[in-house]
Amino acid sequence: MSESDRKHVDGCAIFYRTAKFVLIKEQLVEFNQIAIEHANGHEDMLNRVMTKDNIALAALLQTREPCWESSVPPDPSQVAQPILVCSAHIHWDPEFCDVKLIQTMMLMEQLRQIVESCGHSLRPGHKKENNVQLLLCADFNSLPDSGVIEFINNGKVAVNHKEFKDIAYKECLLKMLSHTNNDQQFTHTFQMNSAYSADLLPFTNYTYDFKGIIDYIFYPKGAMKPLGILGPVSEEWIKESKIIGCPHPHIPSDHFPLLVEFGLTLGVPRSSPVNQVMMPPPTSHAAYMRRMKEF
């Protein structure tokens, strides 16, 4: 790819510690290619969805013994736990809320297919149980009250949701979501919790003309527990420093980092409560930078 081409394509990355995880499989998700595959001549799918160059990257990892530190599972077969990690970037423009929602639906369907294809082959003797856990990290470019986050949180969204803009996507999307027979709702198969909430982090994107939550980390209900969460940059420090938007010399991106330390809960029913242990937010920029280094 040429230097000029690199400026016009989207990119995501996933980094992992090789001492603690083994990479089993990786997969690139290109939303424009999925749109072409399922458009069936649908003009809006081709003209609105296919033209947006956004992607996601998924990596199926398996835990090694050092990942468990001092709490190695008593059952040796539980040491190698499969975790599907996904990093995604959804389209940004608020005028294309339909595209954001469709890209998110495409993403969840692709992740379902990865889990279905890999979940039963990793641990012999567990063919009736899908034991792959999903960790989803994404810039969804969508507020907490959007159709995108409604879909992720609730596992469903109405086929006539207002964010589809009354465009007749229904037939294309029902064919794409092959796992469901419900023609009144679009669904996905995961049960997810958000690691962050608005009372902990009031904004993840901080610019001159926009401040809000558009970045998220979702984890599987019952299978993981947040042990530590990086809080926000001190609003007092932001005011004292007269920062009206980012990027800034001390904050190089208009997106603030989200960092969560998770623990895997083995043998716990999916309905068990998740108790989050929150780390207090930094009170200054220096404390914020120290916290970053600790993670």
Low-confidence residues in the chain, pLDDT < 70: 1, 7, 119-130, 267-295
pLDDT at 295: 45
pTM here? 0.86
pLDDT at 22: 97
pLDDT at 273: 37
pLDDT at 286: 53
pLDDT at 131: 85
pLDDT at 155: 96
Distances in Å between the alpha carbon of 268 and those of 58, 127, 264?
A: 25, 19, 10
pLDDT at 270: 40
pLDDT at 26: 96
Q: pLDDT tens digit string along 51-61? A: 999 999 999 99
What are the beta bridge partners of residue 154?
A: none
In the annotation, is 254 catalytic? no
pLDDT at 119: 56
How many CB atoms are located within 10 Å of the residue 19 CB? Answer: 9
pLDDT at 1: 66
Distance CA(64)–CA(183), nearest Å, equals 42
> Among residues 44, 98, 139, 215, which one is catalytic?
139
pLDDT at 272: 37
Buried/exposed code over 118-133 (b: 16+ C-beta within 10 A; e: otherwise): bbbeebeeeeeeeebb
